[in-house]
Amino acid sequence: MFGIEYDAVLYSRILTGVTLAVHVIFATIGVGIPLMIALAEWMGIKRNDEHYRLLARRWARGFVITVAVGVVTGTAIGLQLSLLWPNFMQLAGHVISLPLFLETFAFFFEAIFLGIYLYTWDRFKKKIYHFFLLIPVAIGATASGFFISTVNSFMNTPRGFDIENGVLTNISPLEAMFNPATPTKVAHVLSSAYLTSAFILAGIAAFAILRGKDHVYHKKALKLTMTAATVFAISTAIIGDLSGKFLAEYQPEKLAAAEWHFETSTQAPLILGGYLTDDNEVKYALEIPYALSILAHGDPNSEVIGLEEFPEDELPPLIVHYFFDLMVGIGMLLAFVSILYTVFSRVKKWNEWNRPLLWAIVVSAPLSMLAIEMGWFFAELGRQPWLLVGHMTVSEGATTSNHVDLMLILFILLYIVLLTTCFTVLRKIFKNNPVEKELREKGLE
């Protein structure tokens, strides 16, 4: 009913969204887990504690499986960018190809040292030499996240080129890469990836303790991961505040859509939850006075631009409000849980192993990944209708192929197979080789 071109755009958006939702799971783990492995092995060497070294070894086993699946989903994204968004890639190939190339280089750099790291356990007389092999892995993982995030930043605040009579001129790859969105975008992506990875590992340790496995190994794992989570929860909150101020300056319509802020006003409140009536009246929402003005400009009396200032055909879908609320709400929960655990662990009379707190950590683990998903959906949908803000809309950048619907079905089947295989392999790896067995073998009971 919409015509071939519209259908192609719609299916392209759906397929890209599904691929992003799947890949972001493995990308987040790929960026964050190497740092956690490095922390565990460093603690093991520093304290001469084999429990921490065993933690690093077991985490590394699981990590390599997720890397393998992440390669497939990452390749799918690269393929779909060329097939589904050819007009965008034609422009991007000239302007923002540098970080795309560097991201590939960073991944190979990480993969080479990861292979060496995995096959050289107990091969060095000085354990610190083995730890040194992990440093390039962590650097490569972080660099991958950095480079690919700059591409997304470029899509939000494109710089480094001019278009004169339909021809690209004055191309500057470095200016395109280090655009105004890069600092907050990269910092938020990396910090949230570290936070999510720490909570996932903490959730596994907390669940083991709840099941009666009160070995000191699990308690050390929980303390290490929750300490890291506390640091990254605070840093993510600070960076999130800076991101709000970036949006107020460079993408005010995105911030206004996130907060259902329709009229330009001072002392603007932050709106949580609720729903919109047909005449855009907000009902049953929780309003925090002055909070949006503070988020946008750091001043409770500052003016925040409303959606009324922008053409209707350039407004993001208002559903992004819920994505934004979920992202921020879960982030606040993670900060609360991690700080609460840290306080309990520091006060001698309090018990950080109490069941309500352990269950809160277990529940927070999948919620942390959900917050990542909601953040990316907010980032991408909040940019609509633009693919490249101010230069190219989504419909202008999309393919006109008649077969995207078939691609969507095939890729969904592929992702189901990948996710099922990944879960099955990880389950078998750890079920067939439980930690209790390794603790006995190493005399660490």
User: Are the beta carbons of 387 and 396 closer than 8 angstroms?
Assistant: yes
The verdict on whether omega for the bond into residue 385 sits within 30 degrees of 0, i.e. cis, is yes
Cα 346 to its chain centre, rounded Å, is: 30
- The confidence score (pLDDT) of residue 410 equals 92
Q: Beta-carbon neighbour count of residue 282 at 10 Å?
A: 17
Q: Which residues are 283's β-sheet partners? A: 275
List the one residue out of 189, 281, 253 whose CA is nearest residue 385: 253
Which strand (E) or helix (H) includes residue 210? Answer: helix 182-210
Tokens 């992702």 belong to which residue? 415
Locate the domains of the chain by residue range.
4-264+305-435
Token pair for 130: 């083995």
Contact 205/222 with Cβ under 8 angstroms? yes
The residue to which tokens 């590939």 are assigned? 104
Mean pLDDT by 10 residues, the chain (445 residues): 58 91 92 94 90 90 90 87 87 86 89 90 86 92 93 91 82 91 94 95 92 84 93 94 91 91 88 84 86 88 89 89 93 94 83 86 95 93 89 87 87 93 90 76 66
Closest CA to 143 of 99, 177, 206, 84: 99
CA 190, 194, 196: angle at the middle one, nearest 5? 115
- The predicted pLDDT at position 164 comes to 82
Please say whether the beta carbons of 334 and 199 come within 8 A. Answer: yes
Give the global pTM. Answer: 0.92
Helix axes 4-47, 216-250, angle to 10 degrees: 140
